[in-house]
Amino acid sequence: MPDRPTTKDARREAAREKARQLREAEARKKRRNRVLAISAAAVALVLVIGVAAIVITRATADKPVVQPPGVTGDGGIVLGNASAPHTVTIFEDYQCPACKAYEPTVVPWLDQQVQAGTIKLEFRPLIFLDRRFGGDYSLRAANAAFCLAGQSGVDFVKFNEAMYEAQPEEGTGGLTDSKIVSIAQGAGGDIGTCIAAGTYEGFAQKVDAAAFALTDAQGAKVVSGTPTVLVDGKLLTGDGGQGVPSQQQIAAAVGITG
């Protein structure tokens, strides 16, 4: 660029330079509009595809809610005499290793109390670990439990124990349907068609959502994971207000000694 635009050539050069700057500004503006248009189109496209995908998966994934016989409306598989004075509820997930570790420490004793008619034992199978680990094992297992619950002459506790004994590692896809069917057979049930149809999967989804929405009198969440134990509808924790109660702690809560 010239320092002193005094000559004709220099003035022409300056005019040319000015024209160049104008062209540049014009081009910049055009480009900015194009960039904004492409960005907006891309964002809109992603949004439209996302919404469409949500609509499609919801339409196909939202399974009909069928109430299984012999199960409470909120998904409780209740064992024991209806006149028993106390109810112990265990929220469980068949994919949960903590449940596998915990249940053998309390369920045999609870089962004895059920036989003695002193308590009712209620299992509520949840499916939240599917959301954490992907896959559908918790859902299939919960459906199987609901399939079995309504049948007569089955030993649900035995099914429950066998399911945990055979529990594969978290997030590995879980037991096959046929393996679950054979476990149910061992407990005296026939759930082949029910598990193939996924009859109560919609119900299991509803039960899971309802369990995590439970709140106590103070409005605090009751269930935040599994296992969770309630005695007569109230949360019972282990030492220090955490975790799950021991057999002795449950016994104390229901007033049974020895």
Residue 205 Cβ, how far from other proteins at the closest point, in Å? 9
Residue 31 Cβ, how far from other proteins at the closest point, in Å? 6
Q: Residue 78: what are its φ and ψ, rounded to 5°? A: -100, 130
Residue 4, token pair as written in the block: 């002193």
Comparison of 86 and 132: residue with beta carbon closer to other proteins = 132
Q: What DSSP designation does 67 have?
A: P
Can you give the length of the chain in residues? 258
Residue 85, token pair as written in the block: 């004075």
Q: Taking phi first (over 0 means left), then psi (-120 to 50 degrees means alpha), and beta for anything else, what does residue 26 get?
A: alpha
β-partners of residue 120 are: 87
Rule CB under 8 A: is residue 65 a binding residue for other proteins?
A: no
Rule CB under 8 A: is residue 133 a binding residue for other proteins?
A: yes
Comparison of 14 and 54: residue with beta carbon closer to other proteins = 54
Candidate residues 11, 12, 20, 234; the one interacting with other proteins per rule CB under 8 A: 20
Number of residues that bind other proteins (CB under 8 A): 29
Residue 132, token pair as written in the block: 């954490």
User: Coil, helix or strand for 190?
Assistant: coil
Q: Cα–Cα distance between 138 and 128 in angstroms, integer?
A: 7
Residue 193, token pair as written in the block: 């068609």
SS3 of 201-248: HHHHHHHHHHHHHCECCCCCECCCCCCEEEECCEEECCHHHCCCCCHH
Candidate residues 7, 9, 33, 39; the one interacting with other proteins per rule CB under 8 A: 39
Rule CB under 8 A: is residue 50 a binding residue for other proteins?
A: yes
Q: What DSSP designation does 91 have?
A: E
Comparison of 210 and 256: residue with beta carbon closer to other proteins = 210
Residues 88, 122 contacting (CB under 8 angstroms): yes
Rule CB under 8 A: is residue 11 a binding residue for other proteins?
A: no
Residue 203 Cβ, how far from other proteins at the closest point, in Å? 16
Q: Which residue type is seen at 83?
A: S
Rule CB under 8 A: is residue 130 a binding residue for other proteins?
A: yes
Residue 197 Cβ, how far from other proteins at the closest point, in Å? 21
Rule CB under 8 A: is residue 101 a binding residue for other proteins?
A: no
Rule CB under 8 A: is residue 61 a binding residue for other proteins?
A: yes
| Sole window of 46-54, 108-116, 147-155, 191-199 interacting with other proteins (rule: CB under 8 A) | 46-54
Encoded one letter per residue, x for contact with other proteins by CB under 8 A and - for no contact, window 172-211 reads -------------------------------------x--
Rule CB under 8 A: is residue 37 a binding residue for other proteins?
A: no
Look-up of token digits 């919404």: 51
Q: Which residue type is seen at 188?
A: G
Comparison of 104 and 134: residue with beta carbon closer to other proteins = 134
Residues of this chain that interact with other proteins (CB under 8 A) are: 20, 23-24, 26-28, 30-31, 34-35, 38-39, 42-43, 46, 50, 53-54, 57-58, 61, 128, 130-134, 209, 242
